[in-house]
Amino acid sequence: MNPQIDVRRVHPELRASLELMPGGNFTREGLKQLREAMGAMVFQALPDDPAVRVFNKTIPGPEGAPELRVRIYEPAVKKEGRPGILYIHGGGYIVGTPETTDFACYRMAKEIDCVVVSADYRLAPETPYPGPLEDCYAALKWFSENSRELGVDCGRIAVAGGSAGGGLTAALALLARDRKGPAIAFQAPLYPMIDDRNITPSSREFLDDRLWNRDKNEFAWEMYLGPLYKGEAPEYAAPARARELAGLPPAYTLVGELDLFRDETIEYCMRLMQAGVPVELHVYPGCYHGFDMSLNTEIGRRAENEIIMALKKALR
């Protein structure tokens, strides 16, 4: 077993949750069980709220690929010109569904008064890079092209997501820039998984099996990249490798001090700013990967509220 983190470094509100976090079987053979366990997790159930309508829709996938499910969260009262958010769930590129982020998407729709489209992209290793990213691009394209029917201003569509969803958010911003659209008004790649090389100090620091640690990260990257792993991965797979960051949409992100992705997040934000891209970055002391989903804590609720406020301000 890997050495455990000194609990004194962990934010007091998060210590009890840390003790309950399972390690998980991060192997090819264990993926089915991991996915079932992730699917059974409900961080906070959707309230019975007539003000927000939640439903699934099937849209065209990338050329030559299957159709894509999206989960839509929209205010029940129709009106035109609302902002939109394409949300991309996390899970290391290997697990997860839109339902795991139901409550976050519901809150965005309700409190920002926007339409949220959450993409059920294909997962690795069954569908390695570039499949998941192309699914997200197809969802963005559909969202933009059908914005009028959805009551959305196509000039005010943001992309957001956490962890692998943050990595796909950053990659999608690069891809949309280089393909000359669809336009992205704002990006929120939250504690993003963007560097396959595992070369930062924080990528070596966190080994505790209860956290998203180095072993899990290396396994997930190997599953996502397939034969590209340990080679020169494309920048659209690992955005930390991107050489040119100018021309990307303004960004908001947060990361915990005890997150494996701490340093790659900070370095990417620094490079965005150096390229002239406006960035707001928050580093939360004593917080580990995914802490913002701990909505039974004040620190988790605070982080969730700040994400919503950043998106609301950007899309006003």
Band (pLDDT 50/70/90 cuts) for residue 21 is: confident
Band (pLDDT 50/70/90 cuts) for residue 24 is: confident
For the ranges 24-33, 59-68, 201-210, the lowest mean pLDDT is seen at 24-33
pLDDT at 91: 96
Band (pLDDT 50/70/90 cuts) for residue 2 is: confident
Q: Render pLDDT for 106-157 as a digit per residue (tens, 0 to 9).
A: 999 999 999 999 999 999 999 999 999 999 999 999 999 999 999 999 999 9
Q: Which residues are catalytic?
A: 163, 259, 289
Q: What is the mean pLDDT of residues 65-93?
A: 97
Percent pLDDT > 90 in the chain is: 92
pLDDT at 38: 80
Band (pLDDT 50/70/90 cuts) for residue 84 is: very high
pLDDT at 25: 83
Q: What is the mean pLDDT of residues 283-304?
A: 96
Q: Which domains does the chain have, with CATH numbers?
A: 7-314 (3.40.50.1820)
Band (pLDDT 50/70/90 cuts) for residue 1 is: low
Band (pLDDT 50/70/90 cuts) for residue 19 is: confident
pTM of the model: 0.97
Residue 43 has pLDDT above 70, yes or no: no
Percent pLDDT > 70 in the chain is: 98
3-state SS of the chain is: CCCCCCHHHCCHHHHHHHHHCCCCCCCCCCHHHHHHHHHHCCCCCCCCCCCEEEEEEEECCCCCCCCEEEEEEEECCCCCCEEEEEEECCCCCCCCCHHHHHHHHHHHHHHHCCEEEEECCCCCCCCCCCHHHHHHHHHHHHHHHCHHHHCEEEEEEEEEEECHHHHHHHHHHHHHHHCCCCCCCEEEEECCCCCCCCCCHHHHHCCCCCCCCHHHHHHHHHHHHHHHCCCCCCCCCCHHHCCCCCCCCCEEEEEECCCCCHHHHHHHHHHHHHCCCCEEEEEECCCCCCHHHCCCCHHHHHHHHHHHHHHHHHCC
Residue 303 has pLDDT above 90, yes or no: yes
Q: What is the mean pLDDT of residues 205-216?
A: 95
Q: What is the mean pLDDT of residues 175-189?
A: 98
